[in-house]
Amino acid sequence: MISRIGLEKHGLSGVGRANWNWPAAVLVQAAIARGEGHIVEEGAFAAETGAFTGRSPNDKYIVDHPSIHDTIDWGKVNRPISREHAAGLRRKITEYMTGREVFVQDLHAGADPEYRLNVRVVTCTAWHNLFARNMFIGPERDQLSDFDPDFTVIQAPEVKADPKADGTASETFIVVDFVEKVILIGGTLYAGEIKKSIFGVLNYILPDRGVMPMHCSANIGPDGDVAVFFGLSGTGKTTLSADASRTLIGDDEHGWSPRGVFNFEGGCYAKVIDLSPKAEPEIYAASRRFGTILENTVFDPQTGIVDFADGSRTQNTRSSYPLSFIPNASATGLASHPKNIVMLTADAFGVLPPLSQLSPEQAMYHFLSGYTARVAGTERGVTEPQATFSTCFGAPFMPRHPSVYAGMLGDLMRTHGTKCWLVNTGWSGGGYGEGSRIRLAYTRAMVRAALAGKLADTEMAVDPHFGLRIPQICPDVPSDILAPRQTWNDPNAYDGKARELAKRFEANFRQFEGYVSNDVRSAAVTAAA
């Protein structure tokens, strides 16, 4: 159905043909007919994104208007672009789309009607339109005729910027205009830019409405208890939240409002390198269905069989599918206030405990830190583990100062009595190359015990390096696994590496010391001692 508020609103009245709100089956047929990808085994659609197999953080810009200038945390993450340069890029896209076929989806971002955003996505390719349809929430049919977008994404991968003329760093651009309420994407085929740009918008507008936006997955237990999982890519956020014993609210983006937790999205965008039907049965099954998009996965052209272990194109292979493809997914995307928060880190130094409990102040400290580690082989030039700190577990998507989000987290935890757990899904018995990755079965057992309240009366030991409270016993987990120092052959080597990582935490946190309370500063000293 076509909205009465058409493309003229966006200066796109000259397009050759606009295909409005096509369903998945029609979009897949169009994508195949246009040579945009292939159908693989059991019906999923496989697409390649060329040179860009991930986001382009150095090519993301916010239009610098006087009315919003002082509300943005400008820097390496939030880069300004002038209104004049943004207008020039918009003219380029408008001229490119003139006379061309485009695809349009009118969608919601946010399951809670009180806080949702109306989003229009205009693309030059059918499969990117299907991606948007998978990832956002579809309105009811009777809502489409009067649909008025709050924000519009206009994506044209073939349009490239001229850095000298357009004020960009390269030919790629993701430009967010909070005043004109438009997002321009050009020079990249990577579909994730569509969803993450809207996530950035929600991260900007919702705090003023008393909602904490979160880069997290979330689920609900049999007794109605809600858990949220923070974590950077590769830490297990999607895997651990897709638990058959719990109802999945969503795998990536949520809000915590005065009414509770709600999903921003209507789909999942799972990382699927080494995807296993045994370890991740729900994601594996969803990734083989018609309507799913597989990004940059390798498949046999004769049989269509996908090799999820093949990372020759990228380690960042992805699967986009509607949330309804997960059997135990929430139908509403709405839930009550979280009982537990799980912060995930993949510590490649092998020194953080696999499970520890945090006070609200320590939770704010680790939330601001957003620690994980990159390992050799995952990025060019990385030859040994490197500590990575991405504040709020999602720095690229946070337009406001990190202290805004951390302050909301602390207040909400205290108000609702929410517990917080730090879970290391990385290495044990030594760092990367010496120790071994903590078994997923153990991590699942620790998370399940924490969420079920089975650790409430367990004796806790305080880690001398990080000030963390470590359970001494956990069901279905060997006791020596819980104490990382005991897993190393050389305890002195463990102490040295732990002190090294603690100093990295301390050095990183100095940037926040002027923005947090004395209690958080004290917790930071304790945690980084």
Query: So which residues are the catalytic ones?
Result: 55, 196, 215, 233, 237-238, 252, 318
Alpha-carbon gap, residue 491 to 388, rounded angstroms:
25
The pair phi, psi for residue 24, each rounded to 5°, is -55, -45
How would you class 293 by CB atoms within 10 Å of its CB: exposed for 0-12, middle for 13-18, buried for 19 or more? buried
Exposed e or buried b per residue across 56-92, where buried means at least 16 C-beta atoms within 10 angstroms of its C-beta: beebbbbbbbeeeeeebeeeebbbebeeebbeebbeb
Alpha-carbon gap, residue 155 to 97, rounded angstroms:
10
What amino acid occupies position 18?
A
Alpha-carbon gap, residue 303 to 385, rounded angstroms:
38
Sign of the torsion formed by the C-alpha atoms of 191, 195, 197 and 200: negative
Alpha-carbon gap, residue 519 to 524, rounded angstroms:
9
Beta-carbon-side half-sphere exposure of residue 432 (alpha carbons within 13 Å): 19
What amino acid occupies position 220?
I
The count of other CB atoms within 10 Å of the CB of residue 343 is 25
What tokens were used for 152? Answer: 């519009």
CA-to-CA dists, residue 112 to 117, 118, 352, angstroms: 10, 12, 37
Name which of 476, 484, 521 is nearest 356 in CA terms.
Answer: 484
> H-type helices in 355-457, by residue range?
360-369, 402-416, 440-451
Alpha-carbon gap, residue 297 to 316, rounded angstroms:
9
